[in-house]
Amino acid sequence: MNKVSALIICKNEENNIDECLKSVQWCDEIILVDSHSTDNTLTIAKKHTERIFQKEWKGFAEQRKYALSLVNTEWIFSLDADERCTKQLEAEIKNLLLRDNISENGFEIPRKSFFLNKWIKHGGWYPNYQLRLFRTKAASLSDRLVHESYLITGEKGKLEYSILHYTVTSVKEYINKINSYSDLSALEKVNKKKIGLLDILILPRLAFFQQFILKGNFLDGIAGLMVSKFHMITKLFNAMKIWELQNKNKFKD
């Protein structure tokens, strides 16, 4: 069987890390890169793995690049702290890695994302395939500040069973996440597009219509409505923060 390492980056994830690490105990090793957590994350993690490394936070991509450099096995299974590997997915990956000749260098995995414990099935939230199982030597990282991703050379395949993603457990938490991610998104896009009135007044509302009506979030009920509203707010925050950066000299005395 081809050996596989579970790869996880985290900071202050005491509410998630135990279930996350339990779900990857079947891997040959678990590598955790922590950004100097100040809660009980490390105490919990030490129950599951000895391969815990500390790295000062330099951004998502830099953390993952460092984590990638620590892997010695042929394959990597990457999870975030708020994600879980199901038993069905575990069995599917084990069966795959029993093969002597695997032509693919990576596999995209569907992801079931939960908003306040409700699985959101529409609006692009599912199946939302993610490249999470890949050959170590074929992998690299994109340079994006936010929503960074692993890249691979060669052929890709798809798996059937899903990762569980508990992305939103409270409204307050999600607001904080949107605020943080929109800061990074604005820095990434500030030189790519000039922001004007339409970007702030109209486009966020169009984004809501697209998400809620055209992509079917209305089928997910109140939770789907909230997801679409947050999608609109994210677009609005991004536009306003980019505008602020592009016009910062106007605010000086």
Domain ranges of the chain: 4-167, 170-251
* Interval 183-194: pLDDT, tens: 989 998 999 989
Radius of gyration of the chain (CA): 20
Q: Checking phi first, is residue 147 left (phi over 0); if not, alpha (psi -120 to 50) or beta? A: left
Q: Which residues contact 151 (CB under 8 A, 6 or more apart)?
A: 131, 139, 140, 141, 142
* Interval 105-140: pLDDT, tens: 999 999 999 999 999 999 999 999 999 999 999 999
Beta bridge partners of 165: 83, 113
* Interval 28-39: pLDDT, tens: 999 999 999 999
CA dihedral 159, 161, 163, 165 (to 10 degrees): 120
- Phi, psi for 83 (deg, rounded to 5): -115, 160
Q: Give the span between the Cα atoms of 56 and 8, in whole angstroms.
A: 15
**Looking at domain 4-167, what is its CATH homologous superfamily?**
Spore Coat Polysaccharide Biosynthesis Protein SpsA; Chain A (3.90.550.10)
